[in-house]
Every structure is written in structure tokens, then in C-alpha cells.
């Protein structure tokens, strides 16, 4: 090996270690965001007692959180292209800490809703900021794997938001449990402040203040790309079932509908997260190896999820434990599959508008989740027999059957925009070939 090669190798090793460090801390910020986001899921039953509310009112907590998250995706994408990931991760983390502090002390429904809005606002700034860090620190073929690992490992936050949070809640009470959540978030914000940088280079990513006309053009350019819309509908159709189950209605379904103990229900939610950790790298490998078959993975995941839900909802009486395990395992694939939508955004957009394109994609799944969270709450209240304090299994069956409307809509749109994307690729390929043919044949 030559001296030049030795120098290059010795310089590459610290660069890789630094990239891993920056990504690891940014990933910790996303883990914390998922923890804050999912903390309501396993505390929903306790929240109904603390605030003396019904299922529809409980749904407003998640709807407020998710609605702010979805509404902020495009603005956050624009801010991300302007200010960079580090500033948004710090701001988002601080907002989520403030939200958990409010939730810890809230006894009034209105303050609790404000708390979830703050959590949703901070959460909206986190994931796409981490994806932008991955884009600059891990370019090339490693990018799809790191993106998938980011989305998958981030779900460790849901593990922290399941059994440990339930244990804290039941042993120490509501306020101490959420004060611990706020303390965890504060620690992560400090780590981001110390360790995270936007790029491996000295120069900052912050650009000039965005002008409204330029912002509109960037958003229009991202939206005009069929691959961006394909990513949005991919995220829409794959994410909502697992997300709604983990964020709010899975725990009540398992405890109130299926008759499981709180510990068993929390354990099933943890199994769902752990299974997602194992599936994510497999999907990333398949996407990197077969980029033209990504939509096949999407349709496969949607079909499998709808089929297992059909068996669970049609089962006479409470489902056996093996079937509930099968349900959480297939739901575990939903999160990693939704990451394919971001891979479409990266593939079909330049780095200069990756924030805007990613924000557009991220709207899809959360809009679907908002619709389902709210609809499930309304159906549960409507279908619960008079005189009962909690929904029964039949009410949950009617509520979760609404998923098939969203799956049908999403699948049609994915098919439609996949075809549009393929037509555009074919047209661009033919335009590149024609000048080459003209040169070789002497035509001008």
C-alpha cells in the first residue's frame, strides 16, 4: 500500500467514527421523540380516569398531537432546508420536554391537549431532521440502509414507552412518570447540543432567508415529481394501522376488548417494536438490491396486514394469544415499510429540496392516522352498549373495520403514482438516449 493510500485510510477511519457518533446522537433524539409520541398509547386507560373523559375525548389528545405533526411537515421541511438539522433537533426536543412537563402537571383537559400539541410540534421537527443528517453523512449506497435503521431503531422509544412507562405509572403515579419522561428528553437535547453537526464539512448549511416565491417553487417542484407523490401514498397506506395501534387504540383494544392484563398488553406492544427492529434491515436490503420492486414490498405488507386483521376481527369471541401475537408481528412491519416512502423522496429529488420532499411524504401516514384515531373514538362511543363504562369487543370490531377504507384508497393511489413514476423515468431515459444516438449516427 502506498503512502497516499495509507493516509487516505487513516483519514477515513476517524471520519467514519465521527459520522457514526453524529448519527448515533441524532438517532437518540429520534428515539426520545418516539418515546414522547407513544407515551399516550399505554396511558390512555389511565388518562380516561384522570381527566374523566370518554373514548372520543381521549382521541382528541392524539388527534391534536398528530394533526400538528402532519400540518408542520411541509413548513418544517422548508425550515430544515434553511436552518439545518441541529437547530431543529434542539428546538424540537425542547418543545417535547415542555409538553411532557405540562402533561405531568395537567388535571384539566384543555391543558392536556396543549401538552400533546407541544409534543406533536417538537416531534414534527425530529425525524426529517435526522434523515437530512443521514443524507449528508452517509451518501451513496449506504444511505437506504442507514435510513431504514434510523426509522427502525427509533422505535426503541416505543419500547421505553410501553413496559417501563407502565411500571412507572403504576408504582409512582401520573406526575412522577411524566416528569421522568421530561428528564429523559432534557438529557437528549443536551447531547444533541454537544455532538450533532449538520454536515462533515466546516461550512454551515444555513442559507439565505427563504422568500415566499422561492419556497412555493421548491414545494411545487417537489410535488410535481411523481416519485414524491408515490412516497406520500406509500407512507399513507403502510403506516396508519401499526401507528394507531401503538399510539393509542392498541392498548385499550387488548385490555378492554380482548381481556388481557395491562402487563401482557404492554408486552405485546414491546414485541411489536422488537420485531420491527429485526424486519427493518431486511426491508432496507431488499430496497437497495431491488429498487424497481419497492412497490411490490408495499403491496405485500398491506395485503398481509389486512388479512391478519380480518381473521382477528372475524374470530368469535376474544382472539387466542397466538393470533394476537401474529397481529402484532404483522403490524411490526408497517413502520419499516413506511420508510420506503422516504426512499422514494430521496431517489427522485435533489439534495437541495430533500427537506421539502421528505416533509411532503411524511404527511401521508399521519393524515391517515389522524383520520383513523378520530374515527375509532367516535365508533367506540357510538357502538358501546348503554350503561357500559368501557367499549366491548364488538365495538372495537366495528371501529377497526374502518381501516379497510383507508387501505383501499391508499393502494389505488400507490398503483396510480407508481405507473406515473415509471412513465416519467421511461421518458427521461429516452431523452438521454436520443442525443447519444444522434452523435453516433452523425445527426445534429
Dump pLDDT digits (tens) for 231-269. 999 999 999 999 899 878 898 899 999 999 888 988 898
**Mean pLDDT of the 384-396 span:** 82
> What single string gives the DSSP state of each residue in 14-66?
HHHHHHHHHHHHHHHHHHHHHHHHHTTGGGHHHHHHHHT--HHHHHHHHHHHH
Task: pLDDT band for 391, please (50, 70, 90 cuts).
Answer: confident
Residue 243, exposed/middle/buried by CB under 10 A (0-12, 13-18, 19+)? Answer: buried
Q: Specify the higher pLDDT residue, 160 or 309.
A: 309
Classify 385 in phi/psi space as left (phi over 0), alpha (psi -120 to 50) or beta. Answer: beta
* Secondary element (H or E) of residue 442: none
Q: How crowded is the C-beta side of 70, counted as CA atoms within 13 Å? A: 19
Domain ranges (residues) in the chain: 10-199+211-441
Which has the higher per-residue pLDDT, 32 or 286?
Answer: 32
Q: How many whole angstroms separate alpha carbon 34 and alpha carbon 22?
A: 19
User: What is each CA distance from 183 to 117, 170, 366, 399, in whole angstroms?
Assistant: 19, 19, 27, 36
The closest alpha carbon to 112, from 161, 43, 33, belongs to 43
Radius of gyration of the chain (CA): 23
CB–CB of 162/271 below 8 Å? no
Grade residue 406 by pLDDT with cuts at 50, 70 and 90.
very high
Please report the pLDDT score of residue 3 as a whole number.
46
Residues 212/298, Cβ–Cβ less than 8 Å: no
Confidence tier at 7 by pLDDT (50, 70, 90)? very low
Average pLDDT over residues 415-443: 68
Reported as type and span, the H/E element at residue 256 is none
C-alpha cell at 340: 420506503
CA distance 166 to 177: 9
User: Does the structure show a pLDDT above 60 at 333?
Assistant: yes
The 8-class DSSP code of residue 253 comes to I
Distance of alpha carbon 374 from alpha carbon 351, whole angstroms? 36
C-alpha–C-alpha distance, residues 387 and 51, integer Å: 20
Using an 8 Å Cβ cutoff, are 278 and 285 in contact? no
Q: Which three cell numbers stand for residue 324?
A: 394476537
Please report the pLDDT score of residue 173 as a whole number: 86
CATH of the domain spanning 10-199+211-441? 1.20.1250.20
- Give me the sign of the Cα torsion angle 219, 220, 226, 230: positive
Cα–Cα distance, 229 to 217 (Å, whole number): 16
pLDDT category of residue 21 using cuts at 50, 70 and 90 = very high
Q: Poorest-confidence range of 53-57, 94-98, 116-120?
A: 53-57
CA 87 to chain centre: 20
Between the two ends of the chain, the Cα-to-Cα distance in Å is 48
Compute CA distances 66 → 188, 237, 335, 342, whole Å.
22, 16, 16, 19
Among 93-97, 148-152, 175-179, the least confident range: 148-152
Say yes or no to pLDDT of 387 above 80: no
- Please write the tens of the pLDDT for every residue from 57-104: 777 887 888 888 888 877 887 788 778 899 999 999 999 999 999 999
| pLDDT score, position 222 | 83
Q: What is the mean pLDDT of residues 331-360?
A: 83
Amino acid at each position: 500500500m502506498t503512502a497516499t493510500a495509507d493516509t487516505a485510510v487513516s483519514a477515513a477511519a476517524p471520519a467514519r467514527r465521527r459520522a457514526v457518533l453524529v448519527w448515533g446522537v441524532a438517532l437518540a433524539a429520534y428515539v426520545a421523540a418516539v418515546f414522547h409520541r407513544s407515551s399516550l398509547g399505554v396511558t390512555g386507560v389511565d388518562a380516561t380516569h384522570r381527566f374523566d373523559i370518554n373514548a372520543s375525548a381521549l382521541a382528541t389528545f392524539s388527534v391534536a398531537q398528530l394533526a400538528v405533526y402532519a400540518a408542520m411537515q411541509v413548513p418544517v421541511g422548508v425550515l430544515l432546508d434553511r436552518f439545518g438539522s441541529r437547530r431543529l433537533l434542539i428546538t424540537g426536543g425542547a418543545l417535547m420536554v415542555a409538553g411532557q412537563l405540562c402533561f405531568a402537571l395537567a388535571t384539566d383537559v384543555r391543558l392536556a391537549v396543549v401538552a400533546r400539541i407541544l409534543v406533536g410540534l417538537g416531534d414534527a421537527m425530529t425525524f426529517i431532521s435526522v434523515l437530512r443528517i443521514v443524507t449528508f453523512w452517509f451518501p451513496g449506497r449506504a444511505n437506504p440502509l442507514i435510513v431504514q435503521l434510523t426509522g427502525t431503531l427509533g422505535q426503541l422509544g416505543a419500547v421505553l414507552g410501553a413496559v417501563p412507562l407502565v411500571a412507572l405509572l403504576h408504582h409512582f403515579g401520573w406526575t412522577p412518570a411524566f416528569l421522568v419522561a421530561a428528564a429523559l428528553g432534557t438529557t437528549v437535547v443536551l447531547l444533541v447540543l454537544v455532538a450533532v453537526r449538520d454536515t462533515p464539512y466546516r461550512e454551515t448549511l444555513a442559507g439565505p432567508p427563504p422568500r415566499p416565491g422561492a419556497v412555493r417553487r421548491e414545494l411545487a417542484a417537489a410535488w410535481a415529481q411523481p416519485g414524491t407523490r408515490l412516497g406520500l401514498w406509500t407512507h399513507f397506506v403502510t403506516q396508519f394501522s401499526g401507528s394507531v395501534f401503538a399510539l393509542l387504540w392498541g392498548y385499550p383494544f387488548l385490555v378492554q376488548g380482548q381481556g388481557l392484563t395491562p402487563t401482557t398488553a404492554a408486552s405485546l406492544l414491546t414485541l411489536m417494536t422488537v420485531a420491527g427492529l429485526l424486519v427493518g434491515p431486511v426491508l432496507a436490503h431488499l430496497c437497495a438490491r431491488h429498487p424497481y420492486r419497492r412497490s411490490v414490498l408495499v403491496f405485500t405488507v398491506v395485503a398481509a396486514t389486512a388479512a391478519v386483521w380480518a381473521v382477528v376481527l372475524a374470530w368469535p369471541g376474544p382472539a387466542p394469544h397466538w393470533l394476537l401475537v401474529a397481529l402484532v408481528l404483522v403490524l411490526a412491519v408497517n413502520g419499516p415499510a413506511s420508510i420506503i416512502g422516504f426512499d422514494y423522496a430521496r431517489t427522485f429529488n435533489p439534495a437541495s429540496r430533500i427537506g421539502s420532499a421528505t416533509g411532503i411524504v411524511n404527511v401521508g401516514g399521519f393524515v391517515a392516522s389522524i383520520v383513523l384515531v378520530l374515527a375509532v373514538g367516535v365508533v367506540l362511543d357510538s357502538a358501546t352498549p348503554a350503561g357500559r363504562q368501557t367499549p366491548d369487543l364488538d365495538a372495537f370490531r366495528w371501529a377497526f373495520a374502518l381501516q379497510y377504507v383507508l387501505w383501499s384508497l391508499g393502494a389505488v393511489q400507490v398503483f396510480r403514482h407508481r405507473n406515473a413514476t415509471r412513465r416519467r423515468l421511461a421518458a427521461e431515459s429516452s431523452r438521454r438516449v436520443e442525443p447519444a444516438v444522434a452523435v453516433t449516427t452523425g445527426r445534429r
